[in-house]
A and B are shown apart, each in its own frame.
Chain A
């Protein structure tokens, strides 16, 4: 049975924008007029120290995601390193899915992966800057994984490839 290939490309720049935007909105909504400094800290900026932390978290989350999806990942190089990922790079997942995989869930897998990286990054970010919100994003990341898992396991009904491919008896 031929496998179905699904390549997912995740733009790190896009993930960074989502993380920063959510951190900004969270900071704004937590502003009570007396916590300007805390609010400023939870709103991730483009400064090197902020971005370095975010990229580090994205790298960690992506590594975990690959582990979670290892059942479907095609073989990757046997060398690895812990170099900080680049904000301009793309993260790629080359999935090899069974021939009866239901391709209509490809978007669900892609969005799930994207959200998992965003939520895990925010969880780590808020673990440093705003502990009250950290667990919420961790739980959301777990829910994202469940969605990815469910989507990857959806199957289509099999169809007979050749209607004449039946058993039969013959007298010689």
Chain B
């Protein structure tokens, strides 16, 4: 990895060569955490917003600035609300990997929250591939971006762009769902297909 910027090294180290934790002998599962910092998501949204606004087919700067300002004050809270929602959706879509028992008396409240980081904790089978974990992280990050942009474009009256981002988000969601059942390991074929 020589020659790479230093800030990339720990990230690549994490993703490409993860250190596998011990397999829980009772469940034969490993714990894998997908981390999404809100800052990384917002900064990507700002960059996509800039490009989208720059190429908008309008002469009205007011229409354009709503897209430029997607993560500015007054808008960022709405975006965060949506990120919270779609992170929860991703956890739900990965149900076989993310399910956890609910505690007696557990509560939820709808007050606004802006977490620094979103974690999706997977209880992955012992033969779950590290590359799948990386792929999932990338897919979810881009899914969140696409979902927010689709929603924001619709909100700001830019229907054609909204449609494109929505389509992209659906494509990514399909790929996320397909990762639920991806495994590594030896495929054993019976010598005799019929017993």
Partner of B36, one of A100, A152, A167: A167
B residues less than 8 Å from A163 (CB atoms): 5, 7
Partner of B30, one of A3, A165, A167, A171: A171
B residues less than 8 Å from A155 (CB atoms): 50, 53, 65, 68-69
Contacts between the two chains (Cβ within 8 Å), count: 102
Complex Cα–Cα for A162 and B140 (A) = 21
Quote the shortest CB–CB distance from B178 to chain A (angstroms). Answer: 17
A residues less than 8 Å from B64 (CB atoms): 153
Smallest CB gap from A158: residue in B = B46
A residues less than 8 Å from B14 (CB atoms): 168-170
Complex Cα–Cα for A171 and B128 (A) = 11
Q: Which of B14-52 contact A (CB under 8 A)?
A: 14-15, 18-21, 30-37, 39-41, 43, 46-47, 49-50
Q: B98-106, B131-139, B153-161, B169-177: which one contacts chain A?
A: B131-139
Is A35 an interface residue, CB under 8 A from the partner?
no
Which residues of B are in contact with A by a Cβ distance under 8 Å?
5, 7, 10-11, 14-15, 18-21, 30-37, 39-41, 43, 46-47, 49-50, 53, 61-62, 64-65, 68-69, 71-73, 76, 130, 133-134, 136-137, 140-141
Which residues of A are in contact with B by a Cβ distance under 8 Å?
1, 3, 98-100, 149-150, 152-155, 157-158, 160-172
